[in-house]
Amino acid sequence: MGNVIQLQNVHWRNGSSHLLRDVSWQVKPGEHWALLGLNGSGKTTLLKMINGYIWPSEGTVSVLGHRFGEVDLRDLRKLIGWVSSSLQEQLYGTDKAQHVVISGKYATIGLYERLSEEDLGQAEGLMKTLGCGHLWDREFRTCSQGEKQKLLIARALMAQPRILILDEPCNGLDLFSREKLLDSIEELTLQERTPTLIYVTHHTEEILPVFSHTLLLRKGEAVEQGRTEKIMDGVTLSHFFEAPVVVEKHSGRSYVRIPGGRHH
Ligand SMILES: Nc1ncnc2c1ncn2[C@@H]1O[C@H](COP(=O)(O)OP(=O)(O)OP(=O)(O)O)[C@@H](O)[C@H]1O
């Protein structure tokens, strides 16, 4: 099987801005990746490119074996789920949770027809896996941020994507909701036919051990990439952040601290 994602010496320029600089990145089947970078480092730009919303100024991109330029991007996008916390607001009004989830299969937001037994069963199964089965009849707008995030992940999975992008899914979640969401994401990876996960974050401690690999992005450059346990180390991260940081490990997760406080 070929690579899930393959970027070769990719640049993206827009006017005088040079937003991706010589990025090469390979995601192989069976790997799950974390994408770590500070604000403005180019994470969203990279995701847009993988989804075919922007094209490289230089270099080549191929996703799921399809080289850009030789594939209908609308078909490709059906194979990629993109769950973004910024997209969830106010989209679904008074729709019930079950409808929001099921609508993921039909690439429309509202859906009031064609609810087959199979669709219902699939939605129920996904909501259970994600620990939000009890929300079945709830209005989406009454769900908490964490619950909405789980429902939107279930929604994306309804289309059985090959790649699932989780774009800062823990934004705005309290400590406990965050851990619950992370548990659900871990649970997902234990299922059959799990899509390749790409987890975008600013926070190292959200990178669960199931994310076998990590890419560090800074100012449009892939500064480091490789196995997560090698990347999550004080020397590598201090180099990446261009500031000394200390890494503490708990249960296979890495917590980064600035020694001596925030003024250093
Ligand atoms: N279409 C564009 N044209 C010019 N500059 C852009 C464009 N899109 C984004 N930028 C700039 O490129 C940089 C990278 O943006 P991007 O949204 O990819 O960063 P990010 O890593 O996703 O950031 P955040 O973590 O804050 O979401 C930013 O400085 C942004 O202002």
Interface predicted TM-score (ipTM): 0.92
Site to substitute for ligand 1 among 16, 45, 57, 170, most atoms within 8 A of C-beta? 45
Q: What backbone torsions phi and psi does residue 241 show, to the nearest 5 degrees?
A: -80, -10
Q: Residue 173's pLDDT is what?
A: 87
Report the distance separating Cα 30 and Cα 200, nearest Å.
18
In the reported structure, the alpha carbon of residue 40 is separated from the centroid of ligand 1 by a whole-number distance in angstroms of: 5
Q: What backbone torsions phi and psi does residue 12 show, to the nearest 5 degrees?
A: -135, 120
Which atom of ligand 1 approaches the CA of 54 most closely? 1
In the reported structure, the alpha carbon of residue 156 is separated from the centroid of ligand 1 by a whole-number distance in angstroms of: 24
Residue 172 pLDDT grade (very low, low, confident, very high; cuts 50, 70, 90): confident
Q: What backbone torsions phi and psi does residue 217 show, to the nearest 5 degrees?
A: -115, 130
Q: Using the predicted structure, report yes or no on whether residue 109 has a pLDDT greater than 60.
A: no
Q: How many CB atoms lie within 10 A of CB 4?
A: 22
| C-beta of residue 173 within 8 angstroms of C-beta of residue 88 | no
| C-beta of residue 64 within 8 angstroms of C-beta of residue 161 | no
Look over the chain and give the mean of its residue pLDDT values, rounded to a whole number: 89
Report the distance separating Cα 218 and Cα 25, nearest Å.
14
Q: What backbone torsions phi and psi does residue 94 show, to the nearest 5 degrees?
A: -95, 10
Minimum mean pLDDT among 61-65, 75-79, 132-136, 151-155: which range? 75-79
| C-beta of residue 4 within 8 angstroms of C-beta of residue 29 | yes
Is domain 1-79+162-264 classified as CATH 3.40.50.300?
yes
Residue 100 pLDDT grade (very low, low, confident, very high; cuts 50, 70, 90): confident
Q: Residue 87's pLDDT is what?
A: 63
User: Between residues 159 and 113, which one has the greater pLDDT?
Assistant: 159
Q: Residue 111's pLDDT is what?
A: 52
Residue 261 pLDDT grade (very low, low, confident, very high; cuts 50, 70, 90): low
Q: Residue 90's pLDDT is what?
A: 54
> Using CA positions, which residue lies closest to atom 9 of ligand 1?
45
| C-beta of residue 44 within 8 angstroms of C-beta of residue 126 | no
Q: Residue 264's pLDDT is what?
A: 52
Q: Using the predicted structure, report yes or no on whether residue 234 has a pLDDT greater than 80.
A: yes
Cβ of 39 closer than 6 Å to ligand 1, yes or no, is yes
Residue-range domain boundaries for the chain: 1-79+162-264, 89-160
In the reported structure, the alpha carbon of residue 200 is separated from the centroid of ligand 1 by a whole-number distance in angstroms of: 14
| C-beta of residue 140 within 8 angstroms of C-beta of residue 92 | yes
* Token digits of residue 180: 């619950």
In the reported structure, the alpha carbon of residue 122 is separated from the centroid of ligand 1 by a whole-number distance in angstroms of: 36
Query: Do β-strands 163-167 and 196-201 pair in parallel, antiparallel, or remain unpaired?
Result: parallel
Cβ of 201 closer than 6 Å to ligand 1, yes or no, is no
Report the distance separating Cα 167 and Cα 85, nearest Å.
7
Q: Using the predicted structure, report yes or no on whether residue 107 has a pLDDT greater than 70.
A: no
Report the distance separating Cα 240 and Cα 5, nearest Å.
23
Give pTM, 2 decimals: 0.90
Minimum mean pLDDT among 87-96, 106-115, 144-153: which range? 106-115
- pLDDT tens digits, residue range 5-52? 999 999 999 999 999 999 999 999 999 999 999 889 999 999 999 998
In the reported structure, the alpha carbon of residue 176 is separated from the centroid of ligand 1 by a whole-number distance in angstroms of: 30
Report the distance separating Cα 127 and Cα 136, nearest Å.
8
Q: Residue 112's pLDDT is what?
A: 55
Residue 213 pLDDT grade (very low, low, confident, very high; cuts 50, 70, 90): very high
